[in-house]
Amino acid sequence: AAKKAALTSLPEKQVERLHPANLDPFFSTSFSSTPTRAACLLFSEKSEVPPLYRALALAFEGQLEFGFAPASLMAQFQVEKAPALLIMFPAEMPPDAGQEKQIQLQGARFTPQVHGKFNYGNIATFIASFIQTRLHELGASAGPSRGAQSDDEEDAPKAATRASKDVGPIPELTAATWDAECASRGGLCAVALLDGSSDNSNKQSQLDMLTKLRARRAGGP
């Protein structure tokens, strides 16, 4: 019951439902207003945004945009089977003679055979790895606009204070701990769904990533 309540309470506002009419504006915003200049797309045959994807969008809010694409858009992105998760980003192409610089889309795809089962922990690790690599590739040019940089600089002491807090280990949610850890605290409660089986060899790295994220957001909304 606690798990179901946590999942249904996750907001959807960080995810944009995609259709042919809003694809171009979505990518334009993604490539101009995020540090990674990238967008994460989940292709699904379902009509509702899965709680897993809502949780990912909340965890990586501000790093890249998140879109939820119906099966009707799969062929356009050369996706053959749903669910499928791609991270799209622009690659600058050298201009042809007499033509302006061209932009071509590239994609990084979550592949279960390589990245593991299609679950929160493995996908979060995949996205975090992409963000780290992408920011390294972009260097200083990946920063937000000048106005946004000023805001970031102004908020830097607050962010540093939050990051320096020792928030302790991530609590495990059960029916007995749900009220104390989430319901009674108010605000948003981000819930990570991890594969706890012995087959999940990435469990510790997933916990480490979530611990760092929790420390960075400590004291925030």
Question: Which DSSP symbol is given to 171?
Answer: P
pLDDT at 63: 93
**CATH dotted code for 2-144+155-217:** 3.40.30.10
Pairing of strands 65-70, 39-44: parallel
- What residue type is assigned to position 113 of the chain? Q
pLDDT at 69: 95
Q: Does 183 or 106 have the greater pLDDT score?
A: 106
Q: What span, in angstroms and rounded, lies between the C-alpha atoms of 202 and 185? A: 30
Q: Could you tell me which residues come within 8 angstroms of residue 33 by beta carbon, excluding any fewer than 6 positions away?
A: 65, 144, 145
Angle at which helix 146-164 crosses helix 203-217, to 10 degrees, equals 110
Q: Which of 31-40, 50-59, 89-98, 123-132 has the lowest mean pLDDT?
A: 89-98
Name the residue with tokens 């510790």: 204
Name the residue with tokens 């108010």: 186
Question: Which DSSP symbol is given to 71?
Answer: G
pLDDT at 183: 60
Name the residue with tokens 């979550």: 110
Average pLDDT of the residues in 200-211: 70
Q: Are the C-beta atoms of residues 118 and 50 closer than 8 Å to each other?
A: no
Q: What span, in angstroms and rounded, lies between the C-alpha atoms of 133 and 42? A: 21
Q: What span, in angstroms and rounded, lies between the C-alpha atoms of 119 and 221? A: 25
Q: Are the C-beta atoms of residues 74 and 82 closer than 8 Å to each other?
A: yes
Q: Give the predicted TM-score (pTM) of the model.
A: 0.61
